[in-house]
Copies of this chain bind each other. A is one copy, B any other.
Amino acid sequence: MNASPTPTRSTRSTRSAPSASSAQAQPAVEQVDTTFLESLLGYNARRASLAVISVFLERMAPYGLRPVDFSVLSLVAHNPGITSRQLCGSLALLPPNVVGLLNTLEKRDLIARQPHPRDRRAMGLHLTTAGQKLMRDAERTAAQLEAEVAAKLTPAELRTLLKLLKKVYA
């Protein structure tokens, strides 16, 4: 979480070849050249997501919600009766890892497991009244945070960015 991009130094890269054995006086690096990595989509996407997530972590701490918790609660809020399996499919989570997560949210009285109407193996997930109240605030905070992070962009740029990101993972 202490990322600090420091480009500059467009001097030549990949210089003479110091084989492990030839240990003559080697030059020191002043400014780290990250131009190659910065040309890669994966590197930039990861850096951007880390930047956003670090702000997310700060702002959601008062609610006691990690990004996963927020995502899960948000899906339950907008999809009352959603099953654990559906959560896994939508959020790329694995079933065993969701169990403890849901148990914690249930103990906090934010969600309730109710019998599924057509499948007695499954459980339908619902927000409790407390969960609904929390998520109203949390989603407002998320939208607000979004606005702040996106303040570095114009509204048009933000729309473009979201559209292009979706094209990448679609």
Binding site for B on A (CB under 8 A): 1-6, 13-15, 17-20, 23, 25-29, 32-53, 56, 67, 71, 74-75, 77-83, 86, 88-92, 109, 112, 114-119, 124, 126-129, 132, 139, 142, 146, 149-150, 152-153, 157-158, 160-162, 164-170
Contact = CB atoms under 8 A, between A and B. Distances in A.
Given A41-B146, A42-B56, A157 B165 contact: no
A47 B166 CA distance: 8
A81 to B, nearest CB: 5
Contacts of A53: 42, 46
Contacts of A83: 29
A158 to B, nearest CB: 7
Contacts of A160: 160, 164
Nearest to A168: B48
Contact of A48 (B28, B51, B169): B169
27 contacts: A3-B91, A4-B90, A13-B78, A14-B77, A17-B127, A18-B126, A19-B112, A20-B126, A23-B114, A23-B115, A25-B117, A26-B80, A26-B116, A26-B124, A28-B116, A29-B81, A29-B82, A42-B49, A42-B52, A43-B71, A44-B166, A45-B52, A47-B165, A48-B168, A50-B169, A152-B167, A157-B164
